[in-house]
Amino acid sequence: MSTVGLLNWTSSQHYDHNGDCPCTQCGKPTPMRSHDGEPVHKVCAEDWNDRNPGAPRHQHDGRDLGTRRFHSDPPRKTRKDGAR
C-alpha cells in the first residue's frame, strides 16, 4: 500500500550535468539525483519509498511529500507580482 505515489522531480537540481553515477538502488548509471545529491533513478526512488513505508516523512507546509530520503519538490509558488 502506497500513499506516496509518483515523485515530482521537476526541479533542475535533480539532473546532474556532470554525468552519470551508479544508482544507489539498481547500480545502473543515472544523471538523476535526489534532494541530497544521491544518484538514484526517479523510479528507483519511488520504488524505495514503496518498500519503506515506515521511513521518516518529509513535510512541507503540512503536506506529505514522501520520505525524508526521497521526496517530491515542494509545490512551486505562483508569482503573480511582477510576472506578466
* Cα 39 to the center of its chain, rounded Å: 11
* Residue 41 Cβ vs Zn ion, minimum distance, rounded to whole Å: 3
CA dist 11 to 4, 29, 40, 76, 78, Å? 18, 20, 15, 10, 15
DSSP state of 63: E
* Residue 71 Cβ vs Zn ion, minimum distance, rounded to whole Å: 17
* Residue 1 Cβ vs Zn ion, minimum distance, rounded to whole Å: 23
Helices (H), 1-84: 42-51
Question: Judged by CB, which is closer to Zn ion: 20, or 64?
Answer: 20
Residue nearest to Zn ion (CB): 23
Residues 21-80 that bind Zn ion (CB under 5 A): 23, 25-26, 41, 44
Residue carrying C-alpha cell 511582477: 82
Binding site for Zn ion (CB under 5 A): 23, 25-26, 41, 44
